[in-house]
Amino acid sequence: MIDSIVQEVREARAQIAEEFGYDRARFWAWARDQQEAERKAQHQLPTSPHKSLETTGGAAESPVTRKRRTRPSGVSV
């Protein structure tokens, strides 16, 4: 008995191989192009150039500044 999932994967693999003319180099070139296009799309986020980035109140200061502010003076750690 052949597992239906295994059969489905084999059919998909055969379909992809046929689409690229059974040429692995062509397939990997296509995969690299797709990956690069996805990377470029992620870097081109739709933001307005006139809108400043919003942060939470504590994120505007460094962690060191926040620690100094919350410790009582004269107490060492």
50/33 Cα distance (integer angstroms): 32
What pLDDT, on the 0 to 100 scale, is given for residue 54?
A: 59
Average pLDDT over residues 25-50: 85
pTM comes to 0.48
pLDDT of residue 43: 82
Which whole number is the average pLDDT over 37-49? 77
Predicted pLDDT at 35? 96
